[in-house]
Chain A
């Protein structure tokens, strides 16, 4: 890049001549060149406010330091981010930010991930010179899920801009003036929109606190698992935070192709079913528990072996919560037994689109596209009807159903049809009509315990990772953890199906999810050339898949 091309700007960052696309702010352009500047009010997903003043830098344009989040770059601009003037300016701003801050980090849930803490350490003065009395501002509920500690608020207005621009609901505002100003809701209008939880994430300090996570865990104790939300077909990228195997909260992960920086409250607070006491956690024959998991998987293998080679009438009912790998194994079982595979879909909900382009899909399952790509486009359509009529007409020797839907309801018609088969196997999260009818009940893994891939409604292939770590199985023992919620140790369908295939003799050994995916990539044109390792953190679009709304099925 000898001369600046169209739309490129030559400027000087800390003495080094650099080039950046025109129209970028100093903060963004400096970040692209490796110079991180502190910021409270700036957020890449929100409009520029420029009110916190912590991003001050020295430029050759003005005698006063400039706020880098709002100042655009231009030819000939010279920026000093660490000159004496810039450092002194930021230190001054930091001292003012901390004047009324209560410094209650030990009881603040933000401590550990608080930018005020970090910047105070990096840019702040060593001690406060403020000897006057600190302001007291309100501590109260802003809505059913959110509480505000006004004393901690630095009035960056990120939450207010989020409610104005992204959720479009505008519940929040700043009340009072000067050092008494604080975020509040309008009287009688709580903040309860479906994206409300995001204001807690973007709060740079501990002012807005999620009541769901309040006092649950200190953030530095949490283990992070980068996975995908299973709440709807949108497939928002999330980080599941766990402590000793227990989910503590879900946080959105940046992916500008799917969910930007946000996630909805249905997904965010919708993890409790994974630790529900009523979950099926041990396999059983009818009502009697099977002693070991291996024994139950051998039972499954024996049933599949009996039907191997197409000698019997077999039906398999899949659900859109299976990963692509599990669907591939179902396909192998179906190919070996000559089974008819149909699927069922959970009832669809309302599709919500917000002014900030964030979308909640009406399809309340994470992997319909993936299961269709593996088992055929009609698996939830005409094939589902074929399976139902086949079951209703009687004479089916073996039926295997998958009921990984977190809410226990399933279509009654299908449930009664399943009951007519001779041998019935159900993979289920909760007991329901299907597991009552089944004579072999196997626990289903929830989305937090699955390893594999999901395909979202736009045909984007994304990795799903299990929150469980080797050794967590011990935590499943009752009485070891004093927390009131339970954490069942569940072996996923991926393992159960492979053990059955090994028992039949169709597979030599069980593989990891990545190994099964390799088989899938070799045999399926949609997945050709993909591998677990090759999928980037933000997913990859799959070739040859119909985008949302084009395929069959009407969601509205």
Chain B
């Protein structure tokens, strides 16, 4: 253990009397402190999952594909999200859109949630505001395959 020049000199504990050596006052002090909290009832623990904490603004949870005012997915399959994704967890296969005002849409849009690192760069890269991260964070599943979200699953998030 090396001592560097800026370290504070070690504090030497004061001399303890007989009472101090018995630690009884300190124990009583601690119990009183705990009792005070019980009486005040201002604890921070939540009874999760019965109670849920409101996520902080900007929390990055599971993805969602958004819809336009006609209920169609906004995504135009430009591959910007899959290009920027550092975890390579987005798989897109494009197809021709059946609508007259749009050219391209995703035929397949899969996100591997097990690979995703929830960095939010897909949301940042999207030119159409079609993908965004929601505040959903607690979706346990039984198999890995269920964690590969397809287009329908992402649209319903």
Contact = CB atoms under 8 A, between A and B. Distances in A.
B104 A215 contact: yes
A104 B91 CA distance: 22
B103 interface: yes
Contacts of B110: 482
B83 interface: yes
Contact of B78 (A106, A216, A221): A106
Interface in B74-88: 76-80, 83
A403 B123 CA distance: 51
Contact of A106 (B93, B108, B128): B128
A336 B51 CA distance: 82
B136 interface: no
B96 A215 contact: yes
B26 interface: no
A214 B93 contact: no
Interface in B86-110: 91, 93-96, 103-104, 108, 110
A107 B93 contact: no
Contacts of A221: 79, 83
Interface residues of B, number: 17
B76 A106 contact: yes
Residue among A214, A216, A218, A220 with the most chain B CB within 10 A? A218
A483 interface: yes
Given A215-B104, A482-B91, A482-B108, A107 B76 contact: yes
Contact of A107 (B83, B91, B104, B108): B104
Contacts of A215: 77, 94-96, 104
Contact of B103 (A107, A482, A483): A107
B76 A482 contact: no
Contacts of B94: 215-216
B91 A106 contact: no
Interface in B6-30: none
A286 B83 CA distance: 46
A214 B76 CA distance: 14
Contacts of A106: 76, 78, 80, 127-128
Residue among A105, A106, A221 with the most chain B CB within 10 A? A106
Nearest to B108: A482
Interface string A204-224: 000000000011101011000
Contacts of B104: 107, 215
A477 to B, nearest CB: 16
B83 A483 contact: no
Contacts of A483: 93
Interface in A215-237: 215-216, 218, 220-221
A351 B31 CA distance: 100
* Dominant secondary structure at the A interface: loop
A218 B93 contact: no
B115 to A, nearest CB: 15
A482 B127 CA distance: 25
A284 B95 CA distance: 37
Nearest to B104: A107
Interface string A372-408: 0000000000000000000000000000000000000
Contacts of A216: 94
Interface string B102-122: 011000101000000000000
Contacts of A104: 103
Nearest to A139: B103
B79 A218 contact: yes
Contacts of B78: 105-107, 218
A541 B104 CA distance: 46
A481 to B, nearest CB: 9
A113 to B, nearest CB: 14
Residue among A104, A215, A482 with the most chain B CB within 10 A? A215
Contact of B96 (A214, A218, A220, A482): A214
Interface in B115-157: 127-128
Nearest to A149: B103
Contact of B83 (A214, A220, A482): A220
Contacts of B79: 218, 221
Interface string A103-132: 011110000000000000000000000000
B79 to A, nearest CB: 4
A307 to B, nearest CB: 50
Given A107-B103, A215-B77, A482 B93 contact: yes
Given A106-B76, A107-B78, A218 B83 contact: yes
A107 B104 CA distance: 7
A529 to B, nearest CB: 45
A105 B95 CA distance: 16
A482 B128 CA distance: 25
Nearest to A104: B103
Nearest to A483: B93
Given A107-B104, A215-B96, 12 more contacts: A105-B78, A106-B76, A106-B78, A106-B80, A106-B127, A107-B78, A215-B94, A215-B95, A218-B79, A220-B83, A482-B91, A482-B108
28 contacts: A104-B103, A105-B78, A106-B76, A106-B80, A106-B127, A106-B128, A107-B76, A107-B77, A107-B78, A107-B103, A107-B104, A214-B96, A215-B77, A215-B94, A215-B95, A215-B96, A215-B104, A216-B94, A218-B78, A218-B79, A218-B83, A220-B83, A221-B79, A482-B91, A482-B93, A482-B108, A482-B110, A483-B93
Ranked nearest first, the 8 interchain pairs of A and B with the lowest CB-CB distance are: A106-B78, A215-B94, A218-B79, A107-B104, A106-B127, A107-B76, A107-B103, A482-B108
Interface of B: 76-80, 83, 91, 93-96, 103-104, 108, 110, 127-128
